[in-house]
Amino acid sequence: MMTRQSGQRKFILVHLLMPGIWNIHKSHNLAEQIEKDIRMLFPNAQTTVFTHLEPIEDPESMLDISIDRK
């Protein structure tokens, strides 16, 4: 998870590792719920939540957790 703030707005980026056998619809629905739950933690703030989905079985997924991709 990475966060930053610009003025009144909070930006939150969450890297989600999902089972590779899940279909896009199921993974997307869970990501949407996670984004909603995070926004609810800051009810009086302008909060933008971004999620990035990766298959947990792919070793490359664990290399994609830093800001700069190598």
pLDDT surpasses 80 at 62: no
What is the Cα–Cα distance from 66 to 57, expressed in whole angstroms? 18
Domain spans in the chain, listed from the N-terminal domain onward:
2-63
Architecture of the domain whose range is 2-63: 2-Layer Sandwich (3.30)
The pLDDT assigned to 69 comes to 58
The pLDDT assigned to 66 comes to 62
What is the Cα–Cα distance from 48 to 37, expressed in whole angstroms? 12
What average pLDDT does range 12-16 have in this prediction? Answer: 94
The pLDDT assigned to 6 comes to 94
What is the Cα–Cα distance from 41 to 27, expressed in whole angstroms? 22
Q: Which two three-digit tokens encode residue 27?
A: 């993974």
Residue 19 CB neighbours (<10 A): 10
| Residue 68 pLDDT grade (very low, low, confident, very high; cuts 50, 70, 90) | low
| Residue 35 pLDDT grade (very low, low, confident, very high; cuts 50, 70, 90) | very high
